[in-house]
Amino acid sequence: MESGLARPRYDFRNTALAYLEVTKPRSVLLLVFTALATMVVAASFDGPVPASRFLVAMAAVTLACAGANTISCYVDRDLDATMDRTKKRPIPEGRICPPERALYWGLLLFLASIVLGWMLNPIAFVCLWGGLLGYVGIYSLWLKRRSSWNIILGGFSGGLPALFGWAAATGRVSLLPVLIAALVVLWIPNHIWSLAIFYSDDYARVKVPMLPVVCEIRRALHCLLSTVILMVLFSLWIYLAGPWGNTYLFTAVLTGLAALILSAYVYLRPTRENAWLLFKFSSPYLFLLFLGMMVDVWLR
């Protein structure tokens, strides 16, 4: 009798964890952090954000990112089941079964997000819809399996959480938040292509035409290095476009130099291990840069 009572609690815990895992929490946290940072920066220019609006905005962008990730996992369930990197995810492992439950879960999360987004303002609402359209529609459903341009054209959705944060705080956009969002878009190819180099056999097996898989590695690394250079230049343009202090400038220069040196090292020594090192550096780079933005405005 006691074991019969204990088992449902154990099953519920595992099921809850599976539904959390399918949202890709680490990806959600990084994207939500970019929205948080731009809200803080916007508030320093435009005045404090009411606590109620701040909480609604954070809930909206979190639910939107989680919902889009979940729907994407449903769309890619056949690929995930074949790739070594993803075969332990909840859908291919059968921890969410039937897979349509993940689709309904993702749609529920996103529906809740757009209701909250509508409570904020029209621009924030459009940013949430744009994120779903870009990530699920353009990237997952259209380009991921068809074109090596998948990350370039489908990656604009990655910058929308940052743009959303500014719009949620101020109700408008300007050059500075557009530059910040563009920086995130330029960060995405470096992040994904370095991962694709490490897992090139995986992507080749499922016929996903990531750039490092479908072209000569030197050409792919040339494109990767070009996007990193543009990303670093945009981080400096952001400094010129806003009334920043030395904290952001120091962060942008230091992290930018690290990104350039590491990318150049991978270009000169194109091994899977070096590509993995670049991939592992990419997320801390984005986190530190946006943290530098927040610390800068707090110190001022």
pLDDT digits (tens, 9 = 90+) for 11-36: 888 999 999 999 999 999 999 999 99
Contact 252, 292 (CB under 8 A): yes
pLDDT of residue 189: 96
* Distance of alpha carbon 97 from alpha carbon 100, whole angstroms: 7
User: Which residues are CB-neighbours of 108 under 8 A, at least 6 positions away?
Assistant: 67
Provide the 8-state DSSP code for 85.
T
Using CA atoms in the order 66, 67, 70, 76, what is the torsion angle rounded to 10 degrees? -120
User: Which residues are CB-neighbours of 86 under 8 A, at least 6 positions away?
Assistant: 76, 79, 80, 92
On the CB side of 300, CA atoms within 13 Å amount to: 18
Q: Is 201 exposed, middle or buried (0-12, 13-18, 19+ CB in 10 A)?
A: exposed
Contact 96, 19 (CB under 8 A): yes
User: Which residues are CB-neighbours of 146 under 8 A, at least 6 positions away?
Assistant: 209
> Is residue 46 very low, low, confident or very high in pLDDT (cuts 50, 70, 90)?
confident
> Is residue 224 very low, low, confident or very high in pLDDT (cuts 50, 70, 90)?
very high
Reduced to 3 states (helix: H, G, I; strand: E, B; else coil), residue 145 is: coil
Question: What mean pLDDT is reported for the chain?
Answer: 94
Q: Which residue has the tokens 């006691």?
A: 2
pTM: 0.94
pLDDT of residue 3: 41
Amino acid at 144: K
pLDDT of residue 300: 78
Q: Which residue has the tokens 């609006």?
A: 53
CA 145 vs CA 119, 165, 206: distances in Å: 36, 31, 9
* Distance of alpha carbon 159 from alpha carbon 72, whole angstroms: 17
User: Which residues are CB-neighbours of 60 under 8 A, at least 6 positions away?
Assistant: 113, 114, 116, 117, 120, 124, 128, 164, 168
pLDDT of residue 52: 96
* Distance of alpha carbon 229 from alpha carbon 19, whole angstroms: 38
Contact 52, 194 (CB under 8 A): no
pLDDT of residue 7: 42
Q: Which residue has the tokens 């909840």?
A: 90
On the CB side of 221, CA atoms within 13 Å amount to: 20
Amino acid at 177: P
* CATH 1.10.357.140 corresponds to the domain 8-170: yes
**Furthest CA-CA distance within the chain:** 69
Contact 113, 135 (CB under 8 A): no
**What proportion of the chain, given as a percentage, has pLDDT over 70?**
97
